[in-house]
Amino acid sequence: MGGTDLTNLVGLIYASAYDVAAVPGVMLKVAEAFGGQSAAYSETDRRTGKIWRADVGLDEDFYRKNREASEQVNALLPPFKRLPAGAVVVEETVMPRREFLHTAFYQEWFRPQDIHWTMACKLEHTDRAMAALTVRRHGRRSAAFNVQSMDAMRRLAPHLRESIKLRHRLRQDRLEQGLNREIVDRAVSGLAIVDQDGHAVLLNPAAEAFLARDAGLRLRSGRLEADGKAGTLLRTRIHRATTRDRAPVGGSFAIHGDDGALPLIVSVVPMRGDDAPGSQQPRHALVVMGDAGAELGPVRTQLAEIFGLTPSEAAVTLALCRGDDLPAICATLGISMPTARTHLQRAFAKTGTRRQAALAALLQRNFGHFDLT
């Protein structure tokens, strides 16, 4: 690889830090600069096990059907994982060629795609993350990667590493800016930004405090989770808020503790910062927890969604929170006293309270910053 080729590649690599969609194309250009026809690039979050990958230059149908199976038999991966950051290797570095040709990985992945030679570079290896780039040469007449190729990859590797760091910093900045905007827009307590699988990307101190005392929500392997029905609701709300199949929507629900304490209110809000035109970036959601829910609509609507109150039950509950007594509520809503009492008893049952004072305190605690009239 000449100096001009290296300079051009470096420019493309840094440009891809600003546009993750450009990464696959740039990785293919890197492979071509080394006389290859395909490339595989991956970033692994070692805390959660999540992998972001870009594999280009292969038959898409074969790749889609066989990728997961190939990972299970990848004989090169275990020794490669043990290598330090900056290592550049070919197959024979980690396994004798004769032995490798008899592995299931070669027979089921390399051979059907006519892959004959690979060169891999460990770009990052920390407690938090691992990143790697592999370039491949296809065809029987292709030559193995030589010492000169490996030296050129070592010269390119620092730029690839800096590009990764820059992309992560830019992404973190965008997420923090999105979080700051939501804080300004909403009166809230605990805040967490999560990805589509519920993994927490950012937590504010209040959210960390809620999670530390295990008030119904907790972090497990970096993922925001809850038990039972609340866990199902949390996953569903996050999915609805992060999907790209349709317009994202939020949702709210309550988590009742076992100690009789007031329930934890959880609201999931789509992040507006992920809505750039044409963006294919994964969406994120803002999870609001604690004393103040995100303002997702009229309080009556939130009551219905969080506690499962009917419109009539919500109307009685809100009137009670305003300080009206039952006779006044009956007159305002045009209902009888027995009907009002029935609505109130059902509201007690659904909110986990027993007395009017406790019900009013619950609403003031979680909705008192809104206009309840």
Provide the token pair at 138: 């296809």
**In this structure, are strands 129-138 and 38-45 parallel, antiparallel, or unpaired?**
antiparallel
Is 3-169 a CATH 3.30.450.80 domain?
yes
Higher pLDDT, 176 or 220: 220
Neighbours of 168 (CB within 10 A): 14
The structural architecture, per CATH, of the domain 300-367 is Orthogonal Bundle (1.10)
Rounded Cα–Cα distance for residues 124 and 165 (Å): 10
Q: Which of 10-24, 237-251, 284-298, 318-332 has the lowest mean pLDDT?
A: 284-298
In this predicted structure, what is the pLDDT of residue 198? 93
Strand partners, 45: 129
Of the candidate ranges 33-42, 199-208, 266-275, 304-313, the one whose mean pLDDT is the lowest = 266-275
Q: Tokens 């004989």 identify what position?
A: 75
Residue 321: pLDDT over 80: no
pLDDT digits (tens, 9 = 90+) for 100-111: 999 999 999 999
- Does the structure show a pLDDT above 80 at 265? no
Given a cut of 80, whether residue 330 has pLDDT beyond it is: yes
Contact predicate 303/273, CB 8 Å? no
Q: What are φ and ψ of residue 195, in 5° steps?
A: -90, -175
* Amino acid identity for residue 159 in this structure: H
**Cβ–Cβ < 8 Å for 333, 340:** yes
pLDDT on residue 202:
83
Predicted local confidence at residue 371, as pLDDT: 41
Please give the pLDDT value at position 255: 80
- Residue 4 or 177, more confident: 177
CA 276 to chain centre: 17
153-157, 190-194, 210-214, 258-262, range with the lowest pLDDT: 258-262
pTM of the model: 0.52
Of 187-191, 226-230, 252-256, which has the strongest mean pLDDT? Answer: 226-230
Task: Kindly state the average pLDDT of the residues 191-211.
Answer: 86
Binned at pLDDT 50, 70 and 90, residue 338 comes out as very high
Q: Which has the higher per-residue pLDDT, 265 or 285? A: 285
Residue 187 pLDDT grade (very low, low, confident, very high; cuts 50, 70, 90):
very low
**CATH no., domain 186-296:** 3.30.450.20
Instruction: Find all residues with CB under 8 Å of 197, minimum gap 6, and list them.
Output: 50, 223
Checking if the pLDDT of 5 tops 50, the result is: yes
Q: Which of 44-48, 53-57, 299-303, 364-368 has the highest mean pLDDT?
A: 53-57
Residue pLDDT, tens place only, 275-309: 544 455 668 888 888 643 334 345 667 777 778 88
In this prediction, residues 60-81 reach a mean pLDDT of 88
Q: What is the C-alpha separation between 194 and 202, in angstroms, rounded?
A: 7
Order of strands across the sheet with 190-194?
200-203, 190-194, 285-290, 264-270, 251-255
Asked if the domains 186-296 and 300-367 are classified in one and the same CATH topology, the answer is no
pLDDT digits (tens, 9 = 90+) for 106-143: 999 999 999 999 999 999 888 888 999 999 999 999 99
Q: Which of 284, 279, 276, 273 is nearest to 243 (CA)?
A: 284
Is 155 a residue whose pLDDT tops 70? yes
Range with the lowest mean pLDDT among 104-113, 171-180, 224-233, 240-249? 171-180
CA distance 304 to 248: 20
CA 345 – CA 350 distance, rounded (Å): 9
**What are the domain boundaries of the chain?**
3-169, 186-296, 300-367
List the single range of 18-27, 66-75, 172-181 with lowest mean pLDDT.
172-181
**What does the mean pLDDT of the chain come to?**
81
